[in-house]
Structure 1
Amino acid sequence: MKISDIMSTHPVTISPGQTLGEAATIMQRIDTGFLPVGEDDRLVGMLTDRDIALRGVGAGKGPEATVGETMTEDVCYCFDDEEVEAVAQNMGEQQVRRLPVVNRDKRLVGVVSIGDLATRQAVPAAGAALEEIAQPSDLHR
């Protein structure tokens, strides 16, 4: 099964010039803790609620600080034509719960989460990925 079969399509994105306040409002409205950051139809970063809390508020930045000041620039992603099992393994190794999905032109086409793996017929892959994700590590410090 390909990731394109289970991913969430039409992801909401934010631009690096938007504010953390705007990002938080969008996250609240769509009930997510993760926004892909796009510029000129390209994925340039990721912003999580954790980024806002630690790199934003924790570093003394307010709601007017920009997404670009706070986002994670080193983005892990997968391709829409990759096999679910390979992506799940990569999610486990990278200890991430969500990945942006791009096509071979590197245009954002969706997002896949550990929840997508668990609820869309990929339960063994989800379990293996979650087991690795839950292990303590220094990957995201």
Structure 2
Amino acid sequence: MQIKDVMSNHPVTVAPEQTLAEAAEIMRRIDTGFIPVGENDRLIGTITDRDIVINGLAQGKAADSAVRDAMSSDLYYCYQDQDVGEVARNMGEQQIRRMPVVDREKKLVGIVSLGDLSTEGAASAAGAALELISE
């Protein structure tokens, strides 16, 4: 089974110059804690609800600070045609719970999460990844 078979389609992105408040509102609206950050049609990072709190607010940054000031630029992604088991192992080794999915031209096409892996028939892959993340 490939990642494209289990990923969430139609990912929402934020721009690095958008504010932390805007990113938080988007997260609330689409019920997620993770959004890829894009600039000039390229994926440059990710921001999570935790990034907003830990790298933003707890560091004294205001809600009108730029996403760029709190995002993670350590970018992990997978390809839509990669095997679910391989991606789950990578997620476990990198200790991440969500990952952008790109096509072979590196255009963002989706997001895969441990939840996607566990609810779409790849539960053993999700369990293995979660075990590594929990170590």
Do Structure 1 and Structure 2 share a fold, with TM-score over 0.5? yes
Q: Percent identity?
A: 59
Question: TM-score when scaled to structure 2?
Answer: 0.98
Runs of 4+ residues over 6 Å off in structure 1: none
Which residue does 2:11 correspond to in 1?
11
AA at the equivalent of 1:43: L
Gap runs ≥5 in structure 1: 136-141
Gap runs ≥5 in structure 2: none
Question: TM-score when scaled to structure 1?
Answer: 0.94
Q: Distance in 1 between the 2:13 and 2:41 partners?
A: 10
Which residue does 1:40 correspond to in 2?
40
Which residue does 2:77 correspond to in 1?
77
Q: Distance in 1 between the 2:43 and 2:107 partners?
A: 7
Q: Distance in 2 between the 1:81 and 1:41 partners?
A: 21
In the TM superposition, what are the counterparts of 1:1-141 in structure 2 within 5 Å?
1-135=1-135
Which residue does 1:139 correspond to in 2?
none
AA at the equivalent of 1:93: E
Q: CA deviation at 1:73?
A: 0.5
Q: Distance in 1 between the 2:112 and 2:106 partners?
A: 15
Q: CA deviation at 1:76?
A: 0.6
Q: Distance in 2 between the 1:28 and 1:15 partners?
A: 17
Q: Distance in 2 between the 1:110 and 1:40 partners?
A: 18
CA RMSD of aligned residues (A): 0.6
